[in-house]
Structure formats: C-alpha cells, structure tokens
Amino acid sequence: MATNSTAIAVFLKTPGFSSLHQGLANTIGDDNASEADRLSIDATASVVRAAMAQDKRLIPYWVLNNPNEHLPAVAQGFKTITQGKGKLSERISQVYNDLLDSHSNVIILNTECPQISPSLILSADILLLNNQRKLKQFVLGRTENGGFYLFGGAQYISDMIWKNLNLGSKNSANNLTTALSQLGQVNELETLYDIHDYNSLKRLGNDLAYEVTLLPGQKNLVNWINNQAL
C-alpha cells in the first residue's frame, strides 16, 4: 500500500558508460572523465540530501543497471533498486510504476544536471501534493537539448506511453508533455543544461564559480573543474 511519501529515484549509469563520461573521455582522458562523472553523482546526492533535510517525506533511491553494480560512496542512506531490462523508456516506466506501489508520488532524476538545487526538488514535490486534492498533476524539468532531468507524477502511466517516446532525442520532453497532457496537467520547472561534453563542463565551472549557495558536493565538482584548467 502506498504511503504518504515521495520516492526520489536517481538513475545511475554503469561507470564508463554515462553520456557524461563518453562525451569527455576523448577530450580530457578516461581518468578525468571518470572523476567528473563521480563528482557529478556526489553533487546530485548532496542536493537530494539537502532536500530531504527540509522534507521528511522524501525517500531516496539509487536506481542501478544491475544488482551487482558498485555503489557510489555517497550511497549511504539511499535505498537501491535495479532498472530492469529494455530501452531507457521501458526501464523508467517500470521503476516509476513499481515505486508508486509503495509511495504516493515518484520523482525520477538523473545525475547529469549537478547544478540542480534542493528548491527545485521541493517545488516538484509541492506540485505533486496537489494530487492529494484530486488534481491530476505531473511535473517536468527540461534540459536545453530537448530532454529532461526530472520527471514526477502520482498516477500510474501506461507502458505504451513510455514505449512510444524516443528518449535521447531533441523531442523527448515535448513528446512526453504531449502524451501526459491527455492524462492531466504538466507543470514545468526551470530549464537546466546537462553536462555531457567538454564545453558544458567548462560552462558549469564558469557559471557556478562564484555561486555562494552551492552545497559541498557541488563545490567539490566546481573546484575540480576550475583547478583542472580545462
């Protein structure tokens, strides 16, 4: 039975196979790409923890590719589940619907927008709480390249809706919004850019160099970027 709580399912890709790692390896080397990937995961975890400190309803999960995958050092306090098989859209569908069996709301999050703030996660949860007033609400955080870094809802979604999405394309967010608008209202958060190559990594370092509200994990990432003189 679902409890009055919100699951935050953070999808982790196998080390070395994330779009961030693959986009950086040929430019700054495999070791530096791995470190950027690790620090991005740590930064995202610090944001989730900060949101949890303000909202005790939030229950975090690491979503792994397989049950034997090595957990990041920041995994303490997070539950772990596996993604299952199939295309990314099918795996998201399975995780989302499965978690709704135990939680009133589910937020899907990736680790490639480490500049995300706790307030964005909290805003997503507040919007989803409207479902308790019988309003059918979804929440979406777009990325500049047409994808999304966050998705949340409180009602089951047919597998067919997910299967018809071409995730990874520049129309991912538009396609999802069009499909979900037939089921309820889609509320949009601030648009962010994901970190997937050398230029976006440098952009992050520049944009956040003097940001005073960064969390420790985010500061570590930004300091590493700027100290590397990339």
Which band of pLDDT confidence, cut at 50, 70 and 90, is reported for residue 215? very high
Both structure tokens of 127: 């919007």
Helices (H) and strands (E) in the chain, counts: 8, 7
Return the half-sphere exposure (C-beta side, CA atoms, 13 A cut-off) of residue 57: 17
Other beta carbons within 10 angstroms of residue 152's beta carbon come to 26
Question: Could you give the CA distance from residue 169 to residue 184 in angstroms, rounded to a whole number?
Answer: 23
Residue 68: per-residue pLDDT? 67
Residue 139: per-residue pLDDT? 95
* Contact present, 152 and 79 (Cβ < 8 Å): no
pLDDT in tens, 28-59: 888 888 899 889 999 999 999 999 999 999 99
pLDDT in tens, 2-28: 678 999 999 987 666 677 777 788 888
Q: Provide the 8-state DSSP code for 71.
A: P
User: Which of 80 and 132 is assigned the larger pLDDT?
Assistant: 80
pLDDT in tens, 156-172: 898 888 877 777 778 88
**pLDDT at residue 73 greater than cutoff 60:** yes
Residue entry with tokens 């390249």 = 145
User: Which of 108 and 37 is assigned the larger pLDDT?
Assistant: 108
From the CA atom positions of the chain, what is the Rg in Å? 17
Ranges of beta strands (E only) in the chain are: 3-11, 58-64, 79-82, 103-109, 137-142, 148-153, 185-188
**pLDDT at residue 226 greater than cutoff 70:** yes
Q: Name every residue whose Cβ is closer than 8 Å to that of residue 41 and which is 6 or more positions away in sequence.
A: 12, 72, 74, 111
**pLDDT at residue 148 greater than cutoff 80:** yes
Lowest mean pLDDT among 6-10, 13-17, 117-121, 150-154: 13-17
Dihedral sign from CA coordinates of 206, 208, 210, 215: negative
